[in-house]
Structures are given as C-alpha cells and as structure tokens.
Structure 1
Amino acid sequence: MVLKICFTVKPKSCKFCGSSDLVKRGYDITIHGKKQKFACKECGKIFYGLNPQGVE
C-alpha cells in the first residue's frame, strides 16, 4: 500500500473562535493520506488544515 501525502495549507484563522494564533500539531494518517493538524492557542481546539482545493 502506498501512502499518499495530502498537502495542506495553514488556515488564516481558527474555525472555532476566529483567532489567528495557530500552531502545527502533528498529523494524522487517514485512508486519504497524511493530513496536517493545527491547534489554536486561544481556544485550544485542534483541526485539520485546508487542502489546496479548499475542501477539508
């Protein structure tokens, strides 16, 4: 099985609170490939970055 890398773009702001203070928090390996995770320093929520097409 070959693992495809899903390139992600850093979001401009947190999708939960709107803060722009984000940091990378590793990645998850899914059936679609590796997906970069980001964490918000304000609210602490963790979410995936955007792929180049803008779909999560």
Structure 2
Amino acid sequence: MDIETRLQNVAKVIAEIDDSKVPRNIRRQAKEVTEQWLLNTGKKTDVRVAMTQAKLEEL
C-alpha cells in the first residue's frame, strides 16, 4: 500500500467524526485540517503528516 492510499484511509477515518454527537467546531476543524494539510498534494508528505498531527492534537 503506497503512502497516498494510506493518507486517503486516514482522511476517511477523520471524516467519520462527522456525527452530530461531536461538537461542531471539532468537526469543522478536522475537516479543514484534512483538506488543507493531509490531502494537499502540493506540499511534501512529511510536512503534510506533521502538520495534520499537530493541528489535530490542538483539538
């Protein structure tokens, strides 16, 4: 399994928190992090992973 496939799988798991039981701000920020960092192929993979992790830890 290549790294892009793994990152897609991680994005799918993050998307699963799109549930009304999860606070709206958490859902919104998780979606933004996924779009801006995790799935942003314009940035290097290590930067994408590190920034996604850091931003999710802030939640």
Normalising TM by the smaller chain, what interval?
Answer: under 0.3
When normalised by structure 1's length, the TM-score is: 0.26
1 or 2, which has the higher helix percentage?
2
The structure with higher relative contact order (CA 8 Å, sep 6+) is 1
Instruction: Give the structure with the higher percent strand.
Output: 1
